Structure 1
Amino acid sequence: KNPVFVVVLNGAFMFAADLLKHITIPCEVTFVKVTSYEGETSTGKVKSLIGLKYDLTDREVVIVEDIVDTGQTIEDIIGQMKQYMPEDIHIATLLYKPEAYTKDIPIEYVALEVPNDFLVGYGLDYDEQGRNLKDIYAIVKEEETIQT
Structure 2
Amino acid sequence: MKQIRQTMEHAELLFSMTEIDQQISQLAEQLNRDYATLNPVVLCVMNGAVITLGHLLPKLSFPLQLDYIHATRYGDKRVGGELVWQARPMTDLADRHVLLIEDIFDEGYTLKALREFCLQAGASSVGCLALVNKIHSRKQGPLPEYLGLEVPDDHYVFGFGMDVEGYWRNAPGIFAVRD
User: What's the TM-score, normalizing by structure 2?
Assistant: 0.74
Provide the rounded CA distance (Å) in 1 between the counterparts of 2:102 and 2:140. Answer: 16
Give the match for residue 127 of structure 1.
165
Once the two structures are TM-superposed, the CA of residue 106 in structure 1 deviates from its matched residue by 3.0
Give the match for residue 137 of structure 1.
175
Q: Show structure 1 runs of 5+ residues with no match.
A: 142-148
Residue identity matched to 2:117: Q
Within 5 Å, which residues of 2 pair with 1:68-147? 68-99=105-136, 101-116=138-153, 117-141=155-179
Instruction: Tell whether the 8 Å contact from 1:69 to 1:100 is kept in structure 2 after alignment.
Output: no
Q: Which of residues 104, 107, 127 is equivalent to 1:67?
A: 104
Provide the rounded CA distance (Å) in 1 between the counterparts of 2:141 and 2:106. Answer: 12
Tell me which of the two structures has the higher relative contact order, counting C-alpha pairs closer than 8 angstroms and 6 or more residues apart. Answer: 2
Percent identity (aligned): 28
Once the two structures are TM-superposed, the CA of residue 53 in structure 1 deviates from its matched residue by 2.6
Measured on the aligned residues, the alpha-carbon RMSD in Å equals 1.3
Any idea what SS the aligned residue of 2:61 has? coil
Distance 1:77 1:119, change over 3 A: same
Give the match for residue 144 of structure 1.
none
Once the two structures are TM-superposed, the CA of residue 100 in structure 1 deviates from its matched residue by 5.2
Q: Which of residues 40, 43, 50 is equivalent to 1:13?
A: 50
Give the match for residue 24 of structure 1.
61
Provide the rounded CA distance (Å) in 2 between the counterparts of 1:93 and 1:21. Answer: 17
Instruction: Tell whether the 8 Å contact from 1:3 to 1:27 is kept in structure 2 after alignment.
Output: yes
Q: Which of residues 75, 80, 94 is equivalent to 1:42?
A: 80
Instruction: Tell whether the 8 Å contact from 2:119 to 2:125 is kept in structure 1 after alignment.
Output: no
Instruction: Tell whether the 8 Å contact from 1:32 to 1:50 is kept in structure 2 after alignment.
Output: yes
Provide the rounded CA distance (Å) in 2 between the counterparts of 1:100 and 1:81. Answer: 26
Instruction: Tell whether the 8 Å contact from 1:68 to 1:101 is kept in structure 2 after alignment.
Output: no
Provide the rounded CA distance (Å) in 2 between the counterparts of 1:106 and 1:47. Answer: 21
Residue identity matched to 1:105: P
Instruction: Tell whether the 8 Å contact from 1:95 to 1:112 is kept in structure 2 after alignment.
Output: yes
Once the two structures are TM-superposed, the CA of residue 101 in structure 1 deviates from its matched residue by 4.2
Q: Show structure 2 runs of 5+ residues with no match.
A: 1-37
Once the two structures are TM-superposed, the CA of residue 12 in structure 1 deviates from its matched residue by 0.4
- Normalized per residue, which structure has more strand? 1
Provide the rounded CA distance (Å) in 1 between the counterparts of 2:137 and 2:69. Answer: 23
Aligned residues: 140
Instruction: Tell whether the 8 Å contact from 2:105 to 2:132 is kept in structure 1 after alignment.
Output: yes
